[in-house]
Amino acid sequence: MPGSKSITNRALVLAALADRASTVHAPLRSRDTNLMAAGLQSLGVGFADGPDGSWLVTPGAMRGPAQVDCGLAGTVMRFLPPAAALAVGDVTFDGDPHARTRPMTTILDALRALGADVEGGSLPFTLHGKGGVAGGVVTIDASASSQFVSGLLLSGARYESGVTVRHDGKPLPSMPHIEMTVAMLREAGVVVDDASPNEWRVEPGAITGRDWHVEPDLSNATPFLAAAAVTGGEVTIPGWPARTTQPGGAARDLFERMGCAVTLTDAGLTLSGPEKLVGVDVDLKDESELTPTVAALAALATGPTRIRGVAHIRGHETDRIAALVTEINRLGGQAEETDDGLVITPRPLRGEVWQAYADHRMATAGAIIGLVVEGVSVDDIGSTTKTIPDFPGMWTTMLGTSMHGTR
């Protein structure tokens, strides 16, 4: 599997703000991470390719004028503005048409409160950089995305007074992503106090340049594991870590609950699919990016599945709850929206075009169902380049080796 998008983009921001050059080993090279690299380069950060596919990142004088294309990448539109606020000059952010509908007010209002000059409340917007940010204490409602907290923390050490972020609102989604941010900051020598619930304090100081080693992306691995789950086959993901801060690590337990056999050895994580998948009642608040994969499995299971705690994914690349319900029902299934998720009751499915909504995880969900239901096609499999450089090639290779009885 290619490297983790979440780890790669956090490492790139930290490397860009560090006190010396850093090397990011085994980074993901996909649309989201290429957009992050391009955005940082436009601000004066140096990037060079290493012989092993690594990125050598050299901090530079952060200067505008610059134009940043966010695409549909939440990490770019929420992690890069706090860093760009340190630049001198104007930095303008924009993205794909749907990106203009994604929640941004929280991060932009927080930057204003911390001393940044921001024009606009959503994409497109412009930062009028003054070469620094005062920093201090800011209270936000990050219930729509944990990325609001992570974005402020990643650059906070470079603010004059550091930053203290307090969350006031509904329970935070995707806490493992904030824990990942805190862990990586500490690896870069930044002092972070997260002892109080819903509060994070980053002390001002240097960010240390270092070697970053990126784990395989575990969330992106789940469609390949799901291929074995729905066909009764077997798939091994090499390099699966024994311990991780990635939310995708929770997939192990999820697959086991649905009837799969999962083992972790030195060779990697191996999943063997059951004769029949079983439905589950599961809260995915911390692992919401797994929702499309779990929904695809649920549509092919033998009993109903209820997915809870994922109301915030209505604001992702698309409204994933509405999209999943629409597409499962289009194939003849039975799916219903709830306030914070969806309920799926298995019914015989038929071949139809599965709409991806320009959403990489919707596309892979359709590919999973298409392994079992004849005649299913995904309208925009190219949307997977957002986080997987060559999903069609990897998928075809996996199926081809299985058909020939080899690994």
pLDDT tens for 269-312 read 999 999 999 999 999 998 999 999 999 999 999 999 999 999 98
pLDDT tens for 239-279 read 999 999 998 999 999 999 999 999 999 999 999 999 999 99
Structure tokens at 398: 């996996």
Closest CA to 8 of 20, 26, 31, 35: 26
Closest CA to 163 of 185, 183, 188, 184: 185
- pLDDT of residue 144 exceeding 90, the answer is no
- pLDDT of residue 404 exceeding 50, the answer is no
Q: Annotated binding residue at 6?
A: yes
| Helix, strand, or coil (residue 343) | strand
Average pLDDT on 102-112 reads 94
Q: Annotated binding residue at 10?
A: yes
pLDDT tens for 114-132 read 999 999 999 999 999 999 9
Q: Annotated binding residue at 74?
A: yes
Going along the chain from its start, the domains and CATH numbers come out as: 5-205 (3.65.10.10), 218-403 (3.65.10.10)
Share of the chain above pLDDT 90, in %: 89
Q: Annotated binding residue at 317?
A: no
pLDDT at position 402: 54
Q: What residues form DSSP beta bridges with 211?
A: 23
The chain-wide mean pLDDT, for the chain, equals 94
Q: Annotated binding residue at 42?
A: no
CA distances (Å), origin 264, targets 233, 241, 247, 284: 17, 9, 17, 22
For 204, other C-beta atoms within 10 Å of its C-beta total 15
Q: Annotated binding residue at 100?
A: no
- pLDDT of residue 405 exceeding 50, the answer is no
Using the structure block, give the residue that is written with the tokens 């994922």: 310
Closest CA to 394 of 159, 154, 225, 242: 225
Which active-site residues does the annotation give? Answer: 289
